[in-house]
Copies of this chain bind each other. A is one copy, B any other.
Amino acid sequence: MDQPYDPACTYSERARLLTSSAIREILKITERPDIISFAGGLPSPDGFPVDVVRAAYDKVLSTQGRSALQYGPTEGYGPLRAWVAEDLSRQGARVGPDNILILSGSQQGLDLLGKVLIDPGSKVLVETPSYLGALQSFSLYQPRYVSVPSDAGGLQPESLTPALAQGGRFLYALPNFQNPTGRTLDRQRRNALVEATARLNLPLVEDDPYGELRYAGEPQPGLLALGQEAGANVIRMGSFSKVLAPGLRLGYLAAAPSLINKLVQAKQATDLHTATLTQMAVHEIVKDGFLAGHLPAVRELYRQQCTHMLDAMSQHFPQTVRWDTPEGGMFIWVTLPAHIDSTRLLEQAVARGVAFVPGAPFYAGDPQHNTLRLSFVTVSEARIREGVRILGELISAYPQA
């Protein structure tokens, strides 16, 4: 048989760092409908306001079709930038539209930050563990990672010593229902964090895709608002993926005007601008307060799913297994007995029709191989219980070291 025509290129050094994401490869297997997948980071489509989205696209195309289909400014659609600025202001931050850059999904913000802030060898501080997608984005710009210790309360601000922060381009943190741990910073740690980064002159990237998905505990102020009071340089990223729908690919970044200006120039070279139609339709949806009415149902859905999983874990996991109880978001982080390698466990689990994400790839430094991430949002209660039962069996039967 003919080989497919596949002429070679000379790749950049950067490209040689690229390897397919472990998560993506697992997701490919777990797309099989017979697999009970706790691996996904997908929000529940039960939370997508399909009819509202449909009506918004229809209205925008009926009334402003020619503008919606034309090129637009790189910074973003003016009314949407203004809406984001007002929304953040309601949460206590002092920002105007000039502080806002609209993104083609908040993942794009990670790439743009890498582009304008990271040189090969630059120090970048990350949580332990951290969001895999951020590590992948930043890694293309060849930083030197420094892992900031965490515990069940999230990142430990007292570990931010001058020696650790010295020369750091930024600290990347997810304060709410972190991916992968589900952990949330309390008020005391938030204050300590913004004070430390202000004192150390260390820019602080606050990635907050899940903040609106709180279903337990007390709401906490955002790091941008707290940081402005403390004199910290906070760069905030937000997303419409979890409050509306991820398939729209829409997010934003809020930062100092000089940084926004650099990011706009980088974005212009990257994708010119985010789709005008998408921005206008989402503005049409959110401008009159739709989210305030919509989010309670999404939160309740996620709370129930989380409760089902925690309940099943209590029932089926051996007592040697520990986990954090999230106050919101999509993930539960599980710590197995030290002798269990969750990547080997995954192989056994997939053979039994269950999938999850092993913890190791979320560590920029030395991984803890006995950790894993469970997502509970897209699986039915019955399948959650069945999948957790199987995992419990496999954990109990895992050979001793």
Contact = CB atoms under 8 A, between A and B. Distances in A.
A231 to B, nearest CB: 8
A12 B107 contact: no
A115 interface: yes
Nearest to A244: B69
A122 B12 contact: yes
Interface in A165-218: 169-170, 203
Nearest to A279: B247
A400 interface: no
A258 B12 contact: no
A170 B65 contact: no
Kindly state the interface size class of chain A when it binds its partner. Answer: 35 or more
A317 interface: no
Q: Count identical subunits in the complex.
A: 2
A270 B268 contact: no
A273 to B, nearest CB: 7
B245 A69 contact: yes
Interface string A94-120: 100010000011011011000111110
Contacts of A268: 21, 24, 136
A45 interface: yes
Nearest to A378: B70
A66 B94 contact: no
A320 interface: no
A111 B18 contact: no
A15 B115 contact: yes
